[in-house]
Amino acid sequence: VTFDDYLTGPRDFAALCADHNVSCTVSSLGGFMMANRLLKSQAKEAQKLFAQLMLASALTVPIFCITMIFGMIPFFQPFLAYEIIPGLAVNGALLFVLSFPVQFYVGHQFHSKAYKTLKTGSLGMDFLVSTGTMAAYVYSTVGLVRGIVAGVPNMHDVEYFETSAVLITAVLLGKYLEVYAKGQTAAAIHKLSKLKAHSARLVKSGTTANLLPNTPTASSEKTFQAGQDTDEEEQVIDASLLHRRDAVRLVAGETVPADGVLLPGTRIGVDEAMMTGESALVSKNAGDKVFGGTMVVEGSALMQVTACGDDSTLGRIITTVQAAQASKPPIQELADRVAKYFVPVITGISLCTFVTWSVAYAVGAVPKGWYAEAGGPYLFAFFFALAVWVSACPCAFGLATPTAVLVATGVAAKHGILIRKGASLQYASNVNVVAFDKTGTLTKGSTEVTDFLYCATPSTPLTTSTAVDSLYDTFEPLHVPTHLTTDSRTTLTDLTEARYLLQLMLLAECRSSHPLAKGITAFCKAQLALLEGVAIVSKGSILPVEEDLLFDVVPGLGIHMHTVDTTTAKSSSDNTNTVNTFSPSTSVLVGSGKLLQSMNVAISPAAERTA
């Protein structure tokens, strides 16, 4: 079905199906849906490989101990050499039984893939693993049968059961680590997809039908001319049902459901940290663009949708990360070309090794003592050929490079860095200078308090200490960088007024979703925990609030809180019942200097210079 998304969309299709009593669901094959499917498939594959790895390890560890440890200890040698039947010793029987599930159950995935690649002619790592382990296993099995037929246990040949089991377990461990790394990357992409809104407030009205250009090629920087509409109908719908040109209401505390532009007469404050990394609130006015996945912190507005779903900025970010993971850097393309010829070359080298040692035996260059215990000179030569074969698995080619690209792009996306192509990672090794644009600062997308300057005046002394009184007379603000420290003149834990101020700030900011409020709230809780000497479990454990509070948000400036009843806050660190009483007339201002000036609050020059 082909349609013009400027005229119709999935909501109309769903309504049409409903009119004909046909149930339907809207799903996407784009970045959001693929992120969820990828996470589930990677988790399922990792769980399967982990179970196989545990089974292989549980069997391989005893095999390794019997071959490499117990067989060298005289105490265990009589037991391992005991013949169950003539020609079959305990060690041979144990190694055969333990290695059989590893070779044919756990290793089945390698054997089946090797068979498929053999049919197509594109031999790879699985073919080497399958043939190498099978050769070692068959050789040891033949040695075991020879011992039974001869009636004399063959203690040497059966040791190659250990080679087969250890190799399969080691390669399986590498595959599990690869899948685990992919799973971490899939989780990072899934985390990005979770930023999108699940619902939207669709506004149905007649005034917003023609605010966007009629064609996709027309300019989107159009001047909006919306009239007044007194007959608006608001409906909460699934965000996936949004169309271009829809009018959507944005409310503080909710996620923007799609990309769009604000309609006239509206203004909001948006947290765009997930896009820009900057924690500062961004003011949006009529005609400004807003992006899906960002958070509305202040105000309410009407927005007209310009892009939704996988076409939105967030959707394109996810698609970009997925495309980068699928792309191949030049070094991986080289590895792919080399791998095409790798197996035939290794096969040739292995055959040359066998021929070389056979010729060396033929000309008498190999002492008899070297091959006496190996069952003959040609089996001795076969061991060297087998060693070349099984040790040549191109794990670096098959695992290292793609895993590096997957992990790097996933970790980068987690930290807000988008890598468009895998080649960028390879070229980055040649970078000597990195220039950061924007504000000149690097942020982690959240705020935290770095300094706390408490400014007091002689009219409100904090203590009777002469040194402290002198401190306020000369107005030297007390700096407390991120944690409480002991000043040379006074101890902050003795300043009850400082605790009173922190409690007021916590009351004013704990209800706000503003990015700066979150940092201030966390700081106040941490400082009060140290002041009171108790761990903070919840807001109520610091300051039980009984009265109603009045909050006035001044857009772009800050917040004004009024307390209307008397409140008593008791310290829980001791039994002294120390109290701070909030006056009914207490007024708290938290914001910029302009807010204080607008409320006729004087700021001393010394405080301004220090701040």
Give me the catalytic one of 238, 246, 310, 437. 437
Q: Select from 323, 457, 343 the least CA-distant residue to 394.
A: 343
Do 290 and 284 meet the contact criterion of CB atoms below 8 Å apart?
yes
Distance CA 290, CA 583 (A): 42
Distance CA 406, CA 389 (A): 29
Do 390 and 133 meet the contact criterion of CB atoms below 8 Å apart?
yes
Q: In the numeric block, which tokens belong to residue 5?
A: 């998304």
Q: Select from 263, 231, 232, 233 the least CA-distant residue to 250.
A: 263
Do 531 and 499 meet the contact criterion of CB atoms below 8 Å apart?
yes
**83-85 and 282-284 beta bridge pairing:** unpaired
Q: In the numeric block, which tokens belong to residue 595?
A: 């807010």
DSSP assignment string, 407-421: HHHHHHHHTT-----
Q: Select from 554, 578, 560, 54 the least CA-distant residue to 281.
A: 554
Q: In the numeric block, which tokens belong to residue 127?
A: 């073919």
Distance CA 406, CA 410 (A): 6
Do 591 and 558 meet the contact criterion of CB atoms below 8 Å apart?
yes
CA distances from 388 to 132, 135, 162, 335 (A): 9, 12, 17, 20
Task: Classify 482 as helix, strand or coil.
Answer: coil
- Is 437 catalytic? The answer is yes
CA 476 to the chain's CA centroid: 45
Distance CA 477, CA 609 (A): 11
In this structure, what DSSP letter does residue 252 have? T
- Burial of residue 113, with CB atoms counted within 10 A of its CB: 0-12 exposed, 13-18 middle, 19 or more buried: middle
DSSP assignment string, 190-212: HHHHTTS-SEEEEEE-SSSTTSS
Q: Select from 233, 64, 89 the least CA-distant residue to 152.
A: 89
**Active-site residues: which are they?**
437
